[in-house]
Amino acid sequence: TDSELNLAACIAERRITAMCIEAALKEDDFETAYSYVASRLSMQSPENSDTSPWPVVDEWSWKAALQAGQYIRTERSQQPTHLGTASGNLEIRHLEQRIECLAT
């Protein structure tokens, strides 16, 4: 049915996004992982269990956001390509981004 297909698509999207975040962190690319958390995970609203016959149990998104929030820069970490409107201090910016990941 349509609702089953929508549920499967929603689950697949969340799992793929989480895998992208995990892959970026394994490559010490926090900037990409943060981008996925900020642009994809924060935009995915959980399914309303009252209207869906099958509530979505999302075990992937929160774990990926947690991993990104726990990431600590090392000498291998890729440097940000731009600062945008954020703080000029890279350590403060990184901390702000980690907090945002944990709050997602």
Q: Confidence band (pLDDT; 50, 70, 90) for 83?
A: low
Q: In the predicted model, is pLDDT for residue 75 greater than 90?
A: no
Q: Containing domain of residue 70, as a range?
A: 2-103
Question: Into how many domains does the chain fold?
Answer: 1
Q: Tell if the pTM clears 0.85, that is, is over it.
A: no
For residue 84, name the pLDDT band (cuts at 50, 70, 90).
low
Which is more confident, 82 or 13? 13
Residue 63 has pLDDT above 90, yes or no: yes
DSSP string, the chain: -HHHHHHHHHHHHHHHHHHHHHHHHHTT-HHHHHHHIIIIITT-PPPPTTT-SS----SSHHHHHHHHHH----TTSPPPS--TTS-S-HHHHHHHHHHHHHH-
Confidence (pLDDT) at 52: 57
**How many residues appear in the chain?**
104
Say whether pLDDT at 48 is over 50.
Answer: no
Task: Name the more confident of 84 and 9.
Answer: 9
